[in-house]
Amino acid sequence: MSDLPSDLKYTAEHEWVRAGEPVTVGITAHAAEALGELVYLELPAVGDAVTAGQVCGEIESTKSVSEVFSPVTGTVVEVNDAAVDDPSLVNSDPYGAGWLLRVDVEGDAALLSPEEYAALVD
């Protein structure tokens, strides 16, 4: 899986985190491909608390409904309204325009390196 961005950290549940203040969160291309054509996103509201490893949203595709797990603990400071309005952005650009949340993080999270995530999904 050589197309994994090396500047991101990952979870076993197929979410990614881009460092920053706040961090940016999304789902991986692997998850987007497995889900198929996305048709609906339900995400937490700005100001909501999220906890690492806990469900924070839902993604619906033409194939199935899946939960979104927060990779970090903190407070949601921004939701990607463009992706909520057009979930296909997550399919077409999961590491760019298809990001899901921005979170002010409290503490550290146990995340995978690109190499560890690649080994998990290969």
Confidence (pTM): 0.93
Residues ≥6 apart with Cβ < 8 Å to 37: 61, 62, 63, 88, 91
Q: Is the pLDDT of residue 63 over 50?
A: yes
Q: Is the pLDDT of residue 95 over 70?
A: yes
Continuous segment of H or E residues that includes residue 15: strand 15-18
CA angle 49, 51, 56 (to 5 degrees): 75
Structural domains for the chain? 8-106 (2.40.50.100)
Q: In residues, how long is the chain? A: 122
Q: How confident is the model at residue 52 (pLDDT cuts 50, 70, 90)?
A: very high
- Distance separating alpha carbons of residues 64 and 9, to the nearest angstrom: 26
Ramachandran category for residue 111: left, alpha or beta (phi over 0 → left; psi -120 to 50 → alpha): beta
